Structure 1
Amino acid sequence: MDILRFITAGSVDDGKSTLIGRLLYDSKNILIDQLEALEKQSKNKNENGIDLAILTDGLRAEREQGITIDVAYRYFSTPKRKFIIADAPGHIQYTRNMITGASNSQLIIILIDARQGVIEQTRRHSIIASLLKMRNVVVAINKMDLVEYSQEVFNDIKAQYELVANKLGLDNVNYFPISAFHGDNIVSESENMVWYQGPTLLDFLENVEVDHKKDFESPRFQVQYVIRPQTDELHDYRGYAGEVISGAYKKGDEITVMPQNIQTRISKLETGGKEVNVVFANQPAVIHVEDDIDISRGDFLVKSEDLPKIENEIEAVVCWLDKKELNEGNKYFIQHKSKLLKALVKEIEYKIDVNTLEKIPVTESIRLNEVVKVRLKTASPLVFDSFEESKATGNAILVDETSNSTVGAVMIL
């Protein structure tokens, strides 16, 4: 059974947390003791006597204010698929939270209040979806009960959003008229909107095709740990442990160790403590090579016919996550999966307006939640693919040298 990771996004009070609560409640993924606790804490009760938003709004401040502040993750499953949901905040000031939540998602559900239509936050979250190369976009037009389940309202908002999607190049967009509060078209078909002939939201999520292309193309493996026991029974054992990021590796494959650019062959493969002939994407594995080579944590083992890029200078889009401002000349660590390097911000080329996608000249320091195009210089060569080719090897983070705080989300161009 595969896993679908998706994120909900939208403006404040569009019903993101209520939608997730409804998915969990109607798909019977809530335990009895959870239901009892919900009934006691609920203020904004529906016909079932509970406030479904409380299921995801876990922080006390979130419950007091009735808003989502941090990204909350929830897990549920149906007989067809497992799901990991990220509930992202709607406030402009929490744009960074939305970006970090969306970075590992395969699908985004953008909620629109049927009374409001497409607003600035709708465009902002759609732009972030386009920046993060999200291939599946669901537009859930919520609170249809408050506009008398009007087909005309739904069609108007759909036409508004199609203009946004066309401008941003969002190709795979699906539209759903829903009421998260009453459960219309979430798990069960709505009796109030017989004019809608499409699937329910859960039915769509269960059957949407997830992009598994990365599992078979561009083999990538990064060393996380060198296993060298140096015991009597394992005197000559030297294995390189990590996760197969993409593609597949077979015993006997010719590989290149990067950034050293040294060729060798795979002599043995192990996973789960057993020797195997092949390992696939997303599997933890231990790779042994024929030659004695200096291979360290963070090095890549890749198929010799399909090499990634290797550069000392990279261009990247950075979402700034820190209250301390970003300036040209600042020094940071760049963490690229298990590789940690020193990096210098050589140039800030322009700022991206997340409301219009316009490129704005930089005249002052970059502040929290702003998105910029930068040129970074690293202390030693970085092995990578572009973010568009591979999210897994095309993303990184910037880390403050003194506080060790994560200060920037990096999408390598």
Structure 2
Amino acid sequence: MGICWSNQIKAESPFHTGVISSKNVSGYGNELSNSSSRGSASIPPTPRSEGEILQSSNLKSFTFSDLKAATRNFRPDSVLGEGGFGSVFKGWVDENSLAASKPGAGIVVAVKKLNQEGWQGHKEWLAEINYLGQLRHPNLVKLIGYCLEDDHRLLVYEFMPKGSMENHLFRRGSYFQPLSWSLRMKIALGAARGLAFLHSAETKVIYRDFKTSNILLDSNYNAKLSDFGLARDGPTGDKSHVSTRVMGTYGYAAPEYLSTGHLTAKSDVYSFGVVLLEILSGKKAIDKNRPSGEHNLVEWAKPYMMNKRRMLCILEPRLEGQYSSGQALKAATLALQCLCKEPKLRPNMDEVVTALEQLQESKGTSKNDQTNHQFNRHSQPHRGRRSSCQSSAEETRGVAAYPRPSASPLYA
């Protein structure tokens, strides 16, 4: 796998229609691109039949009254998060019958309720059911069932107690402690395995919306991919790509997908590179609160990652002392390979999984770091590294960030 660098993403193109962002706390919601032809509401005026739903013996068809009871009538204090789809509520069902149970009894579930006036509609809801209804993997979130009754459309998932990777990386507070190096690599590996499964010859699915908010964590920090509303079947036969309207989240989409609308598995690999860069740096893919020239994470990191002596400068200071320089260089190099401008030069996800597995097995990781994600928040980077990073940072001040569509604020 050769090392290369992705050029600036074309934010304005005939295929790029911008991104509508939505508040996303739980990771069960998503952010989609918008098109003027789509309108403000994509919900059909009349309910569609369950005949559209691919048959799956593993999914339960819930009644609306079942889910009202399970969530205590969708009480506001049961809300786990909100997204473009609607709101996600915490509920309880019996472990065996899946009938609604009282709070604290049975198993906890996450109930995603479609906003009937929202812009993510029936098509995405149906895709979620038809993909997660058939696919089973340890690194995909489990869909338990759905509800299609009158105008009501809901999805019922396993509850992921640690929430989203996004929250642990970017939120500050006593509840969200900073993740250690070993946990970050564990999560990256789990997410990579999920993507590799989707890309496998047996499955051939392109995820299309890989980002930290769609990586959910169980009680042991095992990563599971969620939100399959934008997933697409991969190309078949002698086709090299799928042609589709550009959708996803700005800052994560591959440049060739933005400029041509050609979707391949390598589009997901680019998105994985962005997420791995977020994991290493502790910085969001797009953040207008950062200084000028640093709004776009990929563009900001470019001068550092092109030079091995400065590559470690992208790492979050709070990780200092938890990794060997060899491990850090391998992880940063892997991110760089995934972000290659030429899709053919990017590794496939099987190769990414192998690289991350070897990284975890490499020397230099202490047993304490593997089992404890608490660490000294007051540690400081090595002075020599800080000097080198500072000089590189000064060189980046004139680097322009990717332009963002004016009609698509991030994290509204």
| TM-score of the alignment, normalized to the shorter chain, above 0.5 | no
Higher RCO structure (Cα 8 Å, ≥6 apart): 2
Indicate the structure with greater helix content. 2
The structure with the larger Rg is 1
Which TM-score band (shorter chain)? Answer: under 0.3
Answer 1 or 2: which has greater strand percent: 1
Q: TM-score by structure 2 length?
A: 0.24
So what's the TM-score if we normalise by structure 1? Answer: 0.24
